[in-house]
């Protein structure tokens, strides 16, 4: 990946897209990020959506090691216009983000982490997300919980959880590169695996805006 020309260096952002999953829950032999949508793999649509966002200098895709070459060919075949780096990901999502993060060029200050199977990306959402990250150091998007939430043990309800202040977190998420790096390094030292990248940042004292 080469240095982009848009914006000042401190405002540069690169998206890291972990795409190493196998889609076991969907029951397909082909990983779900490679399933076709309107004639192109899902991840092609996701990459295009990210590259179309204001201030996005490029995308790093972390894919299964045996699909690196095929992914590069797919991007070329579908004429994806923009700076895209394809690297081998890990067996876990967190490891894929870490490997993708290492491929981001020096000088990039802001990282957007997004899932490969979420192709419908709102440009306005990403811009607002980056603005919040620039203010607080980290930001995520999500949906406020509106349904009733129950705590269940086995097949029996134990209690009803107060939903006030509860949110369902989604991607994209945006971070200061240094803060995200610190979170991943600490998680690796501790042998900790989180369900998203924001929790890694929280563990090292970072504040995450919603």
pTM of the model: 0.89
Please report whether residue 208 resides in a domain: no
Is residue 179 within a helix (H) or strand (E), and if so which, with residue range? helix 177-190
Tens digits of per-residue pLDDT, 25-40? 445 566 788 887 888 8
User: Which CATH number fits the domain that encloses residue 108?
Assistant: 3.90.550.10
Q: How far is CA 94 from CA 29, 71, 163, 168, in A?
A: 22, 20, 28, 19
Please report whether residue 184 resides in a domain: yes
Identify the segments of the chain with pLDDT beneath 50: 2-8, 23-26
Please report whether residue 2 resides in a domain: no
How many separate domains does the chain show?
Answer: 1
Which residue reads 């610190």 in tokens?
A: 182
Please report whether residue 147 resides in a domain: yes
Q: Which two tokens stand for residue 33?
A: 């990020």
pLDDT at 26: 45
Give, as one character, the DSSP assignment of residue 91.
Answer: S
Q: How far is CA 23 from CA 32, 33, 109, in A?
A: 5, 8, 31
Tens digits of per-residue pLDDT, 12-24? 899 999 997 654 4
Please report whether residue 13 resides in a domain: yes
Please report whether residue 68 resides in a domain: yes
Please report whether residue 138 resides in a domain: yes
Domain of 182? 9-203
Please report whether residue 1 resides in a domain: no
pLDDT at 89: 95
d(CA 57, CA 79): 17
Which residue reads 């890291």 in tokens?
A: 16
Total Cβ atoms within 10 A of residue 145:
14
Least Cα distance to 115 among 33, 14, 13 occurs for 33
């Amino acid at each position: 990946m080469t240095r982009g020309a848009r914006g000042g260096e401190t405002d540069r952002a690169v998206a890291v897209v972990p795409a190493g999953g196998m889609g076991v829950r969907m029951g397909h032999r082909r990983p779900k990020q490679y399933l076709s949508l309107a004639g192109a793999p899902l991840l092609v649509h996701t990459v295009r959506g990210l590259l179309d966002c204001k201030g996005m200098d490029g995308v790093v895709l972390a894919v299964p090691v045996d699909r690196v070459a095929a992914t590069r060919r797919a991007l070329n075949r579908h004429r994806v216009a923009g700076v895209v780096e394809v690297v081998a990901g890990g067996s876990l999502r967190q490891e894929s983000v870490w490997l993708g993060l290492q491929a981001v060029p020096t000088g990039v200050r802001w990282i957007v982490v997004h899932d490969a199977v979420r192709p419908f990306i709102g440009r306005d959402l990403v811009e607002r997300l980056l603005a919040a990250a620039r203010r607080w150091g980290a930001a995520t998007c999500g949906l406020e919980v509106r349904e009733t939430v129950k705590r269940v043990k086995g097949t029996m309800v134990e209690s009803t959880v107060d939903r006030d202040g509860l949110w369902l977190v989604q991607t994209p998420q945006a971070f200061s590169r240094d803060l995200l790096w610190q979170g991943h390094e600490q998680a690796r030292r501790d042998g900790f695996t989180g369900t998203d990248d924001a929790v890694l940042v929280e563990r090292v004292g970072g504040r995450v805006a919603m």
